[in-house]
Amino acid sequence: MKNKKPKLLHRFIKLAAAIVFMGFFFEIVTPHNSLSSSNLQKNQNEKQIRSPEIEKPESKLPLEIPAVKQPEWDLIWNDEFDDSALDLSKWTPEDWAATKNNELQYYLPNNIFVDSGYLHLTSKKENYGGRTYTSGAIQSSHKFNFRYGKVEMRAKLPAGKGVFPAFWMMPANKNAWLPEIDIVEMVGHKPEEIWMVHHRADSTGKLASEFTSFKGKDFSKDFHTFALEWSPQHLIWSIDGVERFRTDSNIPNEEMYLYANTAIGGNWPGSPDASTIFPVSYVIDYFRVYKKAGEDRP
């Protein structure tokens, strides 16, 4: 009778080798730190607000909206708000009691802060400087001016009766307010409607405007990207990457600067009422300015 031990030993060795191989295979195809599609989507979305007083999104994740080169555009200026305070080499905070449009706020630098990678322009019901409300405003005059290109802001807008957030541009080289390009305007009691406006002087020096509005989701509930493409031929407004308005006439050809603010009250939005909850915050993820790829900066 033949000895079965060598054959059994051979089978045992083959079985052990197969087990080791399968373990090695699963180690390769199943990374320890892999994200499920649901977890990845969760990380890409904005986090829920935690502060009981002022809304503050959590820190940005590296995979969120990186400032990378777009195929047709070269990035020439940006602020991602990754520092602990407002970059005063890029922005000037406003400090005055606004006198236009019968508005009710005092623009106070203390109402501007950076937290967890986001800029907050906060509006409060409080007495200061002869006003009953304070708010925040920043502008880039004398620090960053440009002519032609693409301007982009990603932000969550504040809502409420009498609350009036805006992102706009003013002429850099003269003491005048025309032309003015309003990339975003929203009256807080209609948070689903965004206004896009070009104000200018007509041939007689009187105010003339091209404008439209777009109705979509409640723009105070989540972050959205608002952009303007400015060339010698046209102005094109887009929201979340979709064109919503354009004009091809009377295009400004001078350098302009950036301005972001929340006004309170005034002729258009009206005054806050009992339904308006303060404080409210205009939360901005980033500002980015591009020029056409391959073109020299004007």
Span 18-61, pLDDT tens digits: 443 444 333 433 333 333 333 333 333 333 323 334 445 555 54
In three-state secondary structure terms, 17 is helix
Whole-angstrom distance, CA of residue 67 vs CA of residue 61 = 13
Q: Is the dihedral of CA 214, 245, 103, 256 positive or negative?
A: positive
Q: For domain 65-292, is the CATH number 2.60.120.200?
A: yes
CB 31 within 8 A of CB 257: no
Confidence of residue 293 (pLDDT cuts 50, 70, 90): confident
Whole-angstrom distance, CA of residue 256 vs CA of residue 51 = 36
**Residue 200 CA from chain centroid, whole number:** 26
Instruction: Supply the pLDDT for residue 71.
Output: 77
- Please identify which of the residues 94, 152, 185, 229 carries the catalytic annotation: 185
What's the one-letter identity of residue 255? Answer: E
- Please identify which of the residues 55, 80, 103, 180 carries the catalytic annotation: 180
The tens digit of pLDDT for each residue in 236-265 reads 999 999 999 999 999 999 999 999 999 999
For tokens 């080791």, name the residue: 20
Does the structure show a pLDDT above 60 at 80?
Answer: yes
CB 149 within 8 A of CB 230: yes
Confidence of residue 166 (pLDDT cuts 50, 70, 90): very high
Which of 233, 252, 238 minimizes the C-alpha distance to 180? 252
CB 124 within 8 A of CB 278: yes
Is 254 tagged catalytic? Answer: no
b vs e for 137-152, b when ≥16 Cβ sit within 10 Å of the residue's Cβ?
bbbbbeebbbebbbbb
The tens digit of pLDDT for each residue in 219-239 reads 999 999 999 999 999 999 999
Whole-angstrom distance, CA of residue 260 vs CA of residue 138 = 6
Is 185 tagged catalytic? Answer: yes
- What is the DSSP code string of 156-217? E---STTEEEEEEEEESSSS---SEEEEEE--TT-TTEEEEEEEEE-TTS-EEEEEEEEE-S
- Tally the C-alpha atoms within 13 A of residue 272's C-alpha that lie toward its C-beta: 25
Mean pLDDT of 137-153: 97
Instruction: Supply the pLDDT for residue 1.
Output: 43
Confidence of residue 86 (pLDDT cuts 50, 70, 90): very high
Instruction: Supply the pLDDT for residue 26.
Output: 37
